[in-house]
């Protein structure tokens, strides 16, 4: 059975489970890389150019970890997943960066204008189209579409992507958090859900008794409504989600918001300033933390704990 390597990085946290369902339906064997670790990150940093952001370096580390374990690497090339807005340019060059890192290892480039999981059979990599009939591909895509809808339904019920993936692929249904205290967490999905590069921020917040609300809990329609306050539309899809989610979190009456951003990310330089101005106007406590390969656990965790202390003091004062 042909093993298709899927790096557990970047938009895997959106489309990874759907890729697995689709490939399995075709009789292929999807192989997902292990969670990020220090050795993997170091390998990615060494393989990447200096200008690459941390998430891209992590992605290359995952491809190198899979290289000897799979027959073909699945590498998405995303340009746009919504009409009139775009994904980061680095996503467009992922196949070329990956080829530079893994050498002559076979690579399967997945291209789709609609999104990275669904669309017409023409969106399927040529290497796969040649091995399967049109009917088989269409059947696999229908199965993937059903999984896609089920996955996002689980997210909007309050499960995080890692939890929803386990349920979708056959695990037990988990109950959403029921804590009375809520805190917002915004950023790109690969910053929020890779517990190694963010030093398990979600786990830390939960240990302090917070229910964590993230962008994936809200529908695209809800986010679209919030974008209406902008004088001009945002160019980047992920920036739209961050800004729209921040405004929705304010309406959810969270105690504060933590914004995890990737160092050297161009779009975040703009969206970060918009979020700061919005937080100041609304009077909502905001903590922005930049992630890079040099992030130290002690300083990172201390800043989050200090932010939680601030929220605790504010809560006590409001009860007086």
Query: Whole-model pTM?
Result: 0.88
The larger pLDDT score, comparing residue 76 to residue 186, is at 186
> CA nearest 58: which of 96, 5, 7, 111?
7
Query: Span 181-319: which CATH code?
Result: 3.40.50.11900
Is the pLDDT confidence value at 89 over 50? yes
* Alpha-carbon span 151 to 218, nearest angstrom: 13
Q: What is residue 320's three-state secondary structure?
A: coil
Query: Rounded to an integer, what distance in angstroms lies between the CA atom of residue 230 and that of residue 236?
Result: 14
| Residues found in the chain | 320
Reported as type and span, the H/E element at residue 177 is none
Tens-place pLDDT, residues 114-127: 444 444 455 555 66
| CA distance linking residue 198 with residue 189, whole number of Å | 11
Q: Could you count the other beta carbons within 10 Å of the beta carbon of residue 178?
A: 7
Mean pLDDT value of segment 188-199:
91
β-bridge partners, 291: 262
Q: Is the pLDDT of residue 11 over 90?
A: no
Q: Is 222 exposed, middle or buried (0-12, 13-18, 19+ CB in 10 A)?
A: middle
Domain boundaries, the chain: 3-168, 181-319
Is residue 5 predicted with pLDDT exceeding 90? Answer: yes
Task: Classify residue 109 by burial, with Cβ atoms within 10 Å: 0-12, 13-18, 19+.
Answer: middle
Place of tokens 């150019």: 49
Q: Which has the minimum average pLDDT: 101-105, 117-121, 212-216, 238-242?
A: 117-121
pLDDT at 76 > cutoff 50: yes
More confident position, 115 or 313: 313
Average pLDDT score over residue span 260-272: 79
Backbone angles phi, psi at 226, to 5 degrees: -70, -25
Gap between the Cα atoms of 98 and 95, Å rounded = 5
Mean pLDDT calculated for residue range 258-287: 85
pLDDT of residue 243: 92
Per-residue exposure over 147-161, b if at least 16 CB sit within 10 Å of its own CB, e if not:
bbeebbebbeebbbb
- Greater model confidence, 195 or 266: 195
Contact between residue 243 and residue 234 where contact means Cβ atoms under 8 Å apart: yes
CA distances in angstroms from 94 to 127, 145, 190, 213, 243, listed in the order given? 18, 24, 15, 30, 26
Answer for the pair 113, 129: CB distance below 8 angstroms, yes or no: no
Burial (0-12, 13-18, 19+ Cβ within 10 Å), 63: buried
């Amino acid at each position: 059975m042909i093993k298709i390597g899927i790096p557990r990085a970047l938009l895997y946290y959106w489309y990874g489970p759907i890729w697995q369902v689709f490939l399995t339906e075709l009789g292929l064997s999807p192989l997902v890389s292990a969670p990020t670790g220090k050795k993997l990150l170091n390998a990615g940093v060494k393989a990447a150019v200096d200008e690459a952001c941390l998430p891209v370096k992590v992605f290359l580390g995952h491809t190198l970890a899979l290289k000897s374990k799979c027959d073909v690497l699945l590498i998405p090339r995303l340009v746009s997943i919504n009409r009139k807005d775009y994904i980061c340019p680095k996503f467009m060059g992922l196949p070329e960066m990956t080829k530079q890192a893994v050498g002559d290892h076979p690579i399967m480039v997945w291209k789709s204008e609609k999104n990275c999981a669904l669309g017409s059979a023409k969106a399927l990599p040529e290497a796969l189209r040649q091995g399967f009939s049109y009917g088989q591909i269409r059947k696999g895509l229908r199965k993937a579409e059903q999984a896609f809808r089920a996955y996002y339904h689980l997210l909007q019920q309050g499960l995080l992507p890692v939890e929803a993936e386990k349920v979708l692929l056959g695990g037990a249904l988990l109950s959403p958090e029921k804590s009375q205290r809520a805190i917002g967490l915004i950023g790109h999905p690969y910053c929020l859900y890779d517990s190694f590069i963010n030093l398990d921020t979600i786990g830390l917040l939960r240990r302090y008794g917070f229910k964590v609300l993230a962008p994936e809990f809200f529908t695209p329609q809800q986010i679209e409504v919030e974008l209406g306050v902008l004088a001009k539309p945002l160019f980047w899809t992920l920036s739209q989600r961050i800004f729209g989610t921040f405004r929705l979190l304010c309406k959810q009456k969270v105690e504060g918001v933590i914004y995890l951003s990737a160092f050297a990310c161009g779009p975040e330089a703009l969206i970060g300033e918009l979020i700061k101005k919005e937080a100041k106007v609304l009077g909502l406590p905001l903590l922005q933390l930049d992630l890079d390969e040099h992030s130290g656990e002690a300083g990172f965790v201390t800043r989050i704990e200090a932010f939680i202390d601030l929220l605790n003091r504010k809560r006590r004062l409001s009860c007086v």
